């Protein structure tokens, strides 16, 4: 695989020195005043409110303020933009016209699959919206949230520890000054206070055949909870308090059914403290490999690393990467992927040779934060050079590129973002991780529509969907696992 150029103009010089001097994350009250719901330069979460020069990216007007007509709570999502028409299509034959707004990974996919991989570009809809409390918290955080000082564990934990007493539920650093703040925002972007779901994933072979897996997921996000919403107990109180907690249970294939894990990471440590229940052993053990950097992602058959679940996020007990300074760029990314979330489609429609079916995907032009990470000396990772492209309106990632140890582009990932407007929030509905060398690709268990005929529904964000906090503890995991 040939070396591919990094995005032009993405400077990396002096990043390590920049981070070493960034002891204070909060900004002045005057700078924080740029944030606001209306009439300010920046949106409450830190995006540029204005559109771009030619109007192809509109101004943000609050996003989706209410679910569209026909939507019923707990049912499938209605596409609010179903009448939009394709503006143009980017292919292997014409991509040079749009090259400055394409990632290296996207260009590589166009070249590798010239007859099937394409990009249907639709009008850009800045649909991102969030609850009022998240806007209020984000604005407050800008002038108040800060890193722990001194950080625990030395220099490689300097931007891994936030003081909970100066944080309110919201974007931690809506006006980021360096790549560490960008990555923290992305790692802890808002995808609901809690939810439960039955979700489907796939591992596809070079010929387009695929194997399915089904998992039940339970998410509980204490950093976005207040008062009586917060779980209680030592597991949730240590290390400055739990940030988010996650449990996953295998439902299929039969050989892994019943396997469960759960754990939390914390305000003072991004390391995921996981515990695993194995049915055949009938016991719970600590599982430090789950969620750790380049450990194989669950259900991915080795096609995704643990830190690539949200395309690229912080994990582990210390920082292994040096991050580039903040760069904002206009790019074509998957967005408003409601067609892909339509229950009429199953994996027979979605999975194609080498990639997800291009006829079902929707791309739009959006501004993204481009974050480049290069492995620090003394550390080892399957992907020593990474880029992630983070939507400025939500802090959720839409694209990522992973390079191998020889500097060759290796894995290309897409996340199919949409607004879960009943919350509201922006998160992905399925993703795709493509190996340019083997021709294989995998989708994490984030496709909720595949089980439509089995009676499953989209994630449950309602009070009934709040998982039992006890499940996130070793004792609770043992109790649930025995059942």
Q: Tell me whether residue 195 is exposed, middle or buried, using C-beta atoms within 10 angstroms of its C-beta: 0 to 12, 13 to 18, 19 or more.
A: buried
Pairwise CA distance, residues 276 & 272, whole Å: 12
- What is the residue range of 314's domain? 88-126+186-482
**Closest to 432 (Cα-Cα) out of 467, 400, 474:** 400
Eight-state DSSP code of residue 298: T
State the Rg of the chain over Cα.
Answer: 21
Question: Which H or E run contains 409?
Answer: strand 409-419
383 φ/ψ angles, rounded to the nearest 5 degrees: -120, 85
- 21 in any annotated domain: no
Q: In whole angstroms, give the CA distance from residue 229 to residue 169.
A: 12
* pLDDT at residue 371, rounded to an integer: 96
Ramachandran sector of residue 395 (left: φ over 0; alpha: ψ -120 to 50; beta: rest): left
For residue 58, tell me if it sits in a domain: no
Beta-carbon count within 10 A of 3 CB: 11
Could you tell me which residues come within 8 angstroms of residue 280 by beta carbon, excluding any fewer than 6 positions away?
Answer: none
> What's the burial of 98, exposed, middle or buried (CB within 10 Å: 0-12/13-18/19+)?
middle
Residue-wise DSSP of 142-190 = HTT--B-SSPTTSGGGTTS-B-GGG--SS-S-SS--SHHHHHHHHHT--
Both tokens of 374, joined, read 């290069």
The answer to whether residue 82 sits within a structural domain is no
Separation between Cα atoms, residue 314 and residue 318, nearest integer Å: 9
Alpha-carbon separation of residue 240 from 26, 190, 469 (angstroms):
19, 19, 18
**pLDDT tens digits, 208-236:** 999 999 999 999 999 999 999 999 999 99
Residue spans of alpha helices (H) in 201-345: 234-237
pLDDT of residue 256: 86
**Is residue 19 assigned to a domain?**
no
- Whether 1 contacts 12, CB under 8 Å: no
- The predicted pLDDT at position 4 comes to 41
Structure tokens at 322: 């040096």
Tokens of 41: 């330069």
pTM of the model: 0.93
* Strand bridging mode 328-334 / 397-403: unpaired
Query: What length is written for the chain?
Result: 483
The pLDDT, as a whole number, for residue 3 is 42
Burial class (CB in 10 A: 0-12, 13-18, 19+), 282: exposed
Domain assignment of residue 408, yes or no: yes
User: Per residue in 2-57, pLDDT tens?
Assistant: 444 444 444 443 444 334 444 578 999 999 999 999 999 999 999 999 999 999 99
Residue 83 lies in a domain: no
The distance in angstroms from the start CA to the end CA of the chain is 49
Q: What is the DSSP string of 242-278?
A: EEEEEEEEEEESTTTTT-EEEEEEETTEEEEEEEEEE
DSSP-derived 3-state class of residue 236 = helix
Count structural domains, the chain: 1
Separation of alpha carbons 295 and 402, rounded Å: 15
pLDDT attached to residue 452: 47
Please indicate, yes or no, if residue 226 is contained in any of the structural domains: yes
Check: CB of residue 435 under 8 Å from CB of residue 303: yes
- What does 4-57 look like in DSSP terms, one character per residue? -PPPTT---TTHHHHHHT-------HHHHTTB-SSSSSB-TTS-B-S--TTSSS
Mean pLDDT by 10 residues, the chain (483 residues): 43 40 79 97 98 98 97 93 98 98 98 98 98 98 94 85 95 97 97 94 96 93 96 95 95 89 94 90 85 87 90 93 95 98 92 97 98 95 96 98 97 98 97 97 89 64 94 88 61
For residue 409, the domain's CATH number is: 2.50.20.10
The pLDDT, as a whole number, for residue 74 is: 86
CB environment 324-351: b (16+ within 10 A), e (fewer): bbebebbbbbbbbbbbbbbbebbbebbb
Residue 345 lies inside a defined structural domain of this protein: yes
């Amino acid at each position: 695989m040939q070396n591919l150029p990094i995005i032009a103009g993405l400077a990396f010089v002096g990043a390590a020195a920049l981070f070493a001097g960034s002891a204070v994350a909060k900004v002045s009250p005057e700078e924080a005043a740029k944030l606001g719901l209306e009439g300010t330069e920046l949106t409450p979460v830190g995006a540029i409110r204005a559109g771009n020069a030619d109007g192809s990216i509109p101004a943000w007007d609050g996003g989706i303020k209410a679910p569209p007509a026909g939507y019923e709570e707990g049912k499938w999502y209605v596409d609010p933009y179903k009448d939009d028409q394709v503006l143009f299509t980017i292919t292997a034959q014409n991509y040079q016209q749009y090259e400055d707004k394409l990632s290296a990974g996207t260009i590589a996919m166009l070249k590798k699959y010239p007859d099937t991989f394409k990009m249907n570009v639709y009008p850009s809809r800045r649909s991102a919206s969030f609850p009022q409390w998240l806007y209020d918290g984000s604005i407050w955080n800008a002038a108040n949230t800060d890193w722990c000082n001194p950080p625990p564990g030395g220099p490689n934990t300097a931007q891994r520890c936030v003081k909970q007493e100066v944080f309110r539920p919201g974007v931690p650093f809506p006006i980021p000054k360096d790549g560490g703040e960008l990555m923290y925002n992305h790692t802890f972007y808002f995808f609901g206070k809690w939810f439960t779901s039955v979700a489907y994933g796939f591992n596809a072979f070079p010929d387009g055949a695929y194997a399915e897996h089904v998992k039940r997921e339970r998410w509980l996000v204490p950093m976005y909870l207040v008062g009586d919403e917060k779980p209680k107990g030592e597991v949730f109180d240590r290390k400055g308090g739990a940030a988010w907690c996650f449990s996953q249970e295998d439902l299929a294939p039969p050989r892994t059914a019943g396997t469960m894990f759960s754990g939390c990471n914390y305000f003072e440590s991004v390391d995921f403290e996981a515990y695993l229940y194995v049915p055949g052993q009938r016991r719970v053990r600590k599982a430090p490999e789950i969620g750790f950097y380049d450990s194989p992602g669950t259900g991915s058959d080795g096609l995704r690393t643990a830190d690539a679940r949200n395309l690229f996020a912080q994990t582990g007990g210390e920082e292994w990467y040096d991050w580039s300074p903040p760069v904002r760029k206009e790019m074509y990314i998957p967005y408003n992927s409601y067609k892909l979330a339509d229950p009429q489609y199953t994996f027979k429609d979605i999975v194609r040779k080498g990639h997800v079916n291009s006829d079902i995907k929707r791309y739009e032009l959006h501004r993204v934060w481009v974050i480049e990470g290069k492995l620090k000396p003394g550390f080892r990772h399957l992907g020593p050079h990474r880029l992630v492209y983070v939507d400025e309106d939500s802090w959720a990632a839409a694209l990522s590129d992973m390079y191998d140890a020889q500097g060759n582009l290796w894995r290309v990932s897409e996340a199919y973002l949409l607004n879960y407007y009943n919350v509201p929030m922006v998160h992905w509905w399925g993703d795709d991780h493509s190996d340019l060398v083997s021709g294989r690709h995998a989708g994490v268990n984030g496709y909720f529509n595949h089980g439509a005929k089995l009676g499953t529904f989209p994630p449950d964000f309602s009070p009934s969907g709040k998982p039992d906090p006890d499940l996130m503890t070793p004792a609770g995991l043992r109790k649930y696992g025995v059942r």
